[in-house]
Amino acid sequence: MKRKILKQYFGYDDFREGQEVLIDSILSGRDTFGIMPTGAGKSLCFQIPALIMEGITLVVSPLISLMKDQVGALNQAGIHAAYLNSSLTTNQYYKALKLAGEGRYPIIYVAPERLLTDSFLDFALHARIAMVAVDEAHCVSQWGQDFRPSYLKITEFIERLPSRPVVSAFTASATKEVREDIVDILMLRDPAVMSTGFDRPNLYFEVQTPKNKYNTLSEYVKKHTGESGIIYCLTRKQVEEVCGNLIREGVSATRYHAGLGDEERKKNQDDFIYDRSPVMVATNAFGMGIDKSNVRYVIHYNMPKNMESYYQEAGRAGRDGEPAECILYYGGQDVVMNQFFIEHNQDNVELNDITRQLVRERDHERLKKMTFYCFTNECLRDYMLRYFGEYGGNYCGNCSNCMTQFEEVDITEMAEALTGCIREAGQRYGINVIIDTVHGANTAKIRQYRMDQSSFYGKLPGVPVYKLRQIMNDLLVDGYIRLTNDDYMIVKLTEKARDILEGKAVIMMKMAKEQEQREKKESRPKKKSSAAMQLKAEDEQLFERLRKLRTEIAREENVPPYIVFSDKSLIHMCILKPGNREEMLKVSGVGEFKYEKYGERFLEELKLGTG
């Protein structure tokens, strides 16, 4: 039955890794917890059981955009589904509840704030609830990066139901502590837990420290004209500046942040999803639940506040499994801005003082780990996977560090000068002052602090500033120095630094060969997808014809193009060149319902394109 549904409604012949195990667990009546990376198909793990089980499946979801997107995709596939949230008028809401009570919808998406309202409880207490599926389950944990107090209402709602349904939970990003929190808070009973791993092999990771972020960004976006991409900025002001500049340069871009009105946010989001504006410039307010499959790059204009956020935001690239790029532009000011946000966080006002302080300390620790990601010379993918508790080799071959040649360099003498300068200055200054001192800079600040009188002043005049900064970063990562959490980050020595100061340590560091030339080299050649590589030259023209038809249908039905068929499905059509219904149903992503809606038109286009 489950395989028939997979093919009939979703158009796939086989399950992806972990899907069948999770589906079987739910169908056996057991509580289930799935940890699957973005794009791994976790929604099918509760949608397929929902179509088999007797009764209604409630999917608790945190964002309106997430519900709208998934319900739209289900309806396009021929599955009756509805959502209940604040975007509905009172009449629409009660009409949806009435139809739900009549058994019209096997799947209902609901905002957590609605669960304990009188009207929804009245419906739920008189309906047969087969399963409560908690999507984005990390929102239940105050240690998670997107903690939402409203998620704490889920267990109370379940306890008030006449009979306990199966409870399932799903997330794409959760550390060991957050996973344990999810199981405890949702009161999952002996759950089957399945983690398919956090790795996304199709994503290329890179960290850059450009001298001019905007120029670097502009050059990249213009090289990828016509491709869909997201650019994340830390502040609304940066979003406005970056988006405005790109538009002035002729880029079809739009913007998204919390300062815009609801109507404009919705319009801009739709322009991006429907490919009218393929480039989205946004704060982290954008993205959760955006199931856009053809995002080819995600650029972080600033470093995010933690690895969880970075993994989730970068993971919005390449959801179709095709190659995509995740690039982070790092600047020292990013750390200062994130520290400010942590200290002035308004999201945790509902917590008591002790818990709020614990969360603040945890946030600072996470920021430190995120900063280390930007400094490391190790495999970027491996660093990320280790953060989430996965261990493998330290080489992926698909990140900037793995594609750079490094050499081991003895930096003991330079480390001694830097740590000695910190000690002599009374551990009172930041990294820049220490670097400028040992380099012998003649600046107003150095003279004001009288650091030009330090015995370490001009100790390392021949070492480039960028190399001194790399060494400071390495000492930070290796625990010889630390930074305070003040607005002005002061560098302090740790107990471990004593070995350097007493001349007992030999410090080795991996450095990129020919750094200056590497910084100027052209960006790596664009990587084609495995499917696209199979296309012959004449098939590329056919692919464009199919894309054009897809766009026409999407406009007619007012749905995003990728909901009609993904790029992957169109490429598969070009390769297989189906000539009838039976052959078209062999195309990945073409189910029976979608064939009835669109199949004949695509067959006709294939016939014209190959005739």
Confidence of residue 407 (pLDDT cuts 50, 70, 90): confident
Residues 418 and 471: beta-carbon distance below 8 Å: yes
Examine the domain organization and report whether 365 and 335 are in the same domain. yes
DSSP state of 528: P
Closest by alpha carbon to 441, among 456, 457, 429, 425?
A: 457
Examine the domain organization and report whether 101 and 142 are in the same domain. yes
- The CATH number of the domain holding residue 39 is 3.40.50.300
Higher pLDDT, 585 or 145: 585
**Can you tell me the mean pLDDT for 307-312?**
90
Higher pLDDT, 293 or 491: 491
Residue 515 has pLDDT above 90, yes or no: no
Residue 106 has pLDDT above 90, yes or no: yes
Mean pLDDT score across all residues of the chain: 88
The runs of H, that is alpha helices, within 233-352 are: 236-248, 262-273, 307-314, 332-343
* Assigned domain for 591 exists: yes
Confidence of residue 519 (pLDDT cuts 50, 70, 90): very low
Examine the domain organization and report whether 180 and 223 are in the same domain. no
Residue 531 has pLDDT above 50, yes or no: no
**Can you tell me the mean pLDDT for 343-353?**
71
Which residue among 512, 542, 571 closes a domain? 512
Q: Which residues contact 184 (CB under 8 A, 6 or more apart)?
A: none
Examine the domain organization and report whether 351 and 412 are in the same domain. no
Tokens encoding 6: 């997979």
Residue 310 has pLDDT above 90, yes or no: yes
Examine the domain organization and report whether 213 and 180 are in the same domain. no
* Assigned domain for 395 exists: no
Greatest alpha-carbon pair distance for the chain in Å reads 84
- The CATH number of the domain holding residue 591 is 1.10.150.80
Give the pLDDT of residue 217: 97
Residues 434 and 421: beta-carbon distance below 8 Å: yes
* CA angle (325, 330, 335) in 5-degree steps: 135
Give the pLDDT of residue 356: 77
Examine the domain organization and report whether 282 and 377 are in the same domain. yes
Examine the domain organization and report whether 469 and 550 are in the same domain. no
In DSSP terms, 512 is beta-bridged to: 406
Q: Which residues contact 554 (CB under 8 A, 6 or more apart)?
A: 274, 560, 561, 563, 564
Give the pLDDT of residue 559: 82
Interval 434-480: pLDDT, tens: 999 999 999 999 999 999 999 999 999 999 998 898 899 889 888 89
* Assigned domain for 401 exists: no
Q: How far apart are CA 290 and CA 445, in angstroms?
A: 47
* Assigned domain for 299 exists: yes
* Assigned domain for 392 exists: no
Give the pLDDT of residue 526: 56
Confidence of residue 8 (pLDDT cuts 50, 70, 90): confident
Examine the domain organization and report whether 31 and 162 are in the same domain. yes
Q: In what order do the strands lie in the sheet with 129-134?
A: 81-84, 107-110, 56-60, 129-134, 166-171, 32-35, 192-195
Examine the domain organization and report whether 12 and 144 are in the same domain. yes
* Assigned domain for 400 exists: no
Residues 546 and 606: beta-carbon distance below 8 Å: yes
Count of positions (residues) in the chain: 611
Which residue among 359, 387, 415 closes a domain? 387
Helices 537-557, 600-610: crossing angle, 10 deg rounding: 150
Higher pLDDT, 136 or 242: 242
Examine the domain organization and report whether 169 and 102 are in the same domain. yes
- The CATH number of the domain holding residue 501 is 1.10.10.10
Residue 487 has pLDDT above 80, yes or no: no
Confidence of residue 350 (pLDDT cuts 50, 70, 90): low
Amino acid at 504: K
- The total number of structural domains in the chain stands at 4
Look up the domain containing 219 and give its range.
203-387
By mean pLDDT, which of 39-43, 155-159, 260-264, 334-338 is the weakest? 39-43
Which residue among 387, 418, 440 closes a domain? 387
Residue 485 has pLDDT above 80, yes or no: no
* Assigned domain for 35 exists: yes
Q: Which of 2-6, 64-68, 83-87 has the highest mean pLDDT?
A: 2-6
**Can you tell me the mean pLDDT for 475-495?**
85
* Assigned domain for 6 exists: yes
Examine the domain organization and report whether 411 and 481 are in the same domain. yes
Examine the domain organization and report whether 34 and 60 are in the same domain. yes
* CA angle (48, 53, 59) in 5-degree steps: 60
Long-range contacts of 3-9 (CB under 8 A, 24+ apart): 5/48, 5/51, 5/52, 6/44, 6/48, 7/585, 7/591, 7/592, 8/591, 8/592, 8/593, 9/51, 9/77, 9/78, 9/79, 9/591, 9/592, 9/593
Confidence of residue 521 (pLDDT cuts 50, 70, 90): very low
